[in-house]
Amino acid sequence: MAQFAVIEQAKKSLKTVQEYIKVGMETTLDVAQDFADSKIESEKEIDILKSVMKDYVQMERDLDDFMNSVEDVTKQAAQSQETVDLEEAVEGRLQVYKSKSQKVPLENHEKYVDLAEKITEILHPDRQVDSVPQTPAYTGDEEMVLTQTDVNTRCPYTGKDMVHPVKNRHCEHNYDREGILHYIKTKKNRAKCPVSGCMNENPIQKEDLIENKELKRYIDRKLRSEKRTKKSS
């Protein structure tokens, strides 16, 4: 049983590494956003960002494959009455996971896709949108009517500025992802849209939420503008 205790401790350490990789990905996206804001169009720097993001994606993939392999083998070993060579068993499972993950291009990773979008902003600034479509209200007859004159970046449930905005596909109202998921979990099948006056009667389901990348980019630009203003003051 001592070997299982060692494995569990190692898994905790690897989860810490996973967090570091996520931070690295976000930092790469932050740098790309700085380039976009500063109108930097250096192909050399852009290629470096792409390479760095691919490295992070590969590291995350390798780590996920390894941790999944360890999880499979430890569960199998715990249920088996026979002595299992853990190292050999993990290596065998790892090859299975790798053969599957290698079929998926690194460029398909959501963070690389986000980076590609930011690079498009850098290379084609004329396509950059300074604001996002205003949030329509649901009228009950599928007719959408604009109700806002300014972009609202506050989550109607948490009352705080959104970090990861998601849109309800039924009424198209936006919420912060973490906040609305907590709301759904709390209310279960009774979670109605928290926007006052919304006519959408459909309870919110996790699958109803769509990542609002355009609003996310707007929020990121807004935050960076505020940071630059504070630094200059």
Alpha helices in the chain (DSSP H): 2-38, 43-79, 86-101, 110-123, 177-187, 213-232
Q: Is 230 exposed, middle or buried (0-12, 13-18, 19+ CB in 10 A)?
A: exposed
For the cut 50, the answer to whether the pLDDT of residue 131 exceeds it is no
Q: Do residues 172 and 195 lie in contact, with contact meaning Cβ atoms separated by under 8 Å?
A: no
Give tens-digit pLDDT for 184-218.
999 988 899 999 899 999 999 999 999 998 888 88
CA 52 vs CA 59, 111, 117, 226: distances in Å: 11, 12, 16, 27
- What average pLDDT does range 29-36 have in this prediction? 82
Q: Which residues lie below 8 Å from residue 66, measured CB to CB, with a gap of 6+? A: 14, 90, 94
Residue 132 one-letter amino acid: V
Phi, psi (deg, nearest 5) at residue 144: -100, 130
Q: Is 50 exceeded by the pLDDT of residue 139? A: no
The pLDDT of residue 127 is: 54
Give the global pTM.
0.58
The lowest-confidence range among 70-74, 79-83, 155-159 is 79-83
Output the CATH code of domain 136-232. 3.30.40.10
